[in-house]
A and B are shown apart, each in its own frame.
Chain A
């Protein structure tokens, strides 16, 4: 079946630095990708919708200048957490939609800001 890959699986960074997370659709083209954040024992919270070749659409309350999203190709979207702080530590998950409207998720990326 379709596979969505995220990299890195986990990352530790120092406070004030930026970190990039990649999301790739491995065997299908995805015009739309989504970025979620998940806190322990909570459900997924949508951060933004990423459309290939255009600006991302951010959900209310999500800082677009802090969470930079780029969808440069039909198989790659990136999330950059800029000037990270400990409160940004979380589990970040991407998903991609196939042409048939099946939405697959990546394995997630654990971010720890120290």
Chain B
């Protein structure tokens, strides 16, 4: 069974204070690792998909990296509008469904 563990559970940052979120995973053949941002009461917003170890993707202040066992989401010089819950999910080889981690709730103070 696919397993996804995210840490920390919550992260409080000062505006401009860079940090990283961790997503450790166990899957029998990774098809893809997905990162989403979710604001309270809304559906997840797609950020990145990573497919192979060593791959990196960037979008504004966010950068996602992937190894064979974990993925990191780096937030550089965060702003208050980056406050959200960040979800990591893995997709196995046999179907297209996603298994989600519990998420990391990021709060950025001005």
Measured CB to CB, the residues of A under 8 A from B are 1, 4, 6, 32, 34, 42-44, 46, 49, 91, 93, 95, 97, 101-108, 110
6 smallest CB-CB distances across A and B, nearest first, come from A105-B43, A108-B43, A105-B44, A43-B100, A107-B43, A43-B102
Count how many chain B residues have C-beta atoms less than 8 Å from C-beta atoms of the other chain.
22
Interface of A is mostly: strand
Cβ B97 vs Cβ A34 within 8 A: yes
Q: Knowing A34-B98, A43-B103, A49-B97 are in contact, say whether A103-B46 is a contact too (CB < 8 A).
A: yes
Q: Could you list some 13 contacts between A and B, CB below 8 A?
A: A4-B43, A42-B102, A43-B101, A43-B103, A44-B44, A44-B87, A46-B99, A93-B43, A103-B34, A103-B46, A105-B36, A105-B43, A105-B46
Measured CB to CB, the residues of B under 8 A from A are 31-32, 34, 36, 41-46, 49, 87, 91, 95-103
A41 to B30, CA, bound (A): 27
A104 to B44, CA, bound (A): 8
Nearest A residue to B46 by beta-carbon distance? A104
Nearest B residue to A100 by beta-carbon distance? B49
Residue among A4, A42, A105 with max Cβ neighbours from chain B (10 Å)? A105
A46 to B96, CA, bound (A): 12
- Chain B nearest CB: distance from A31 CB in Å? 9
Q: Knowing A43-B102, A101-B49 are in contact, say whether A6-B43 is a contact too (CB < 8 A).
A: yes
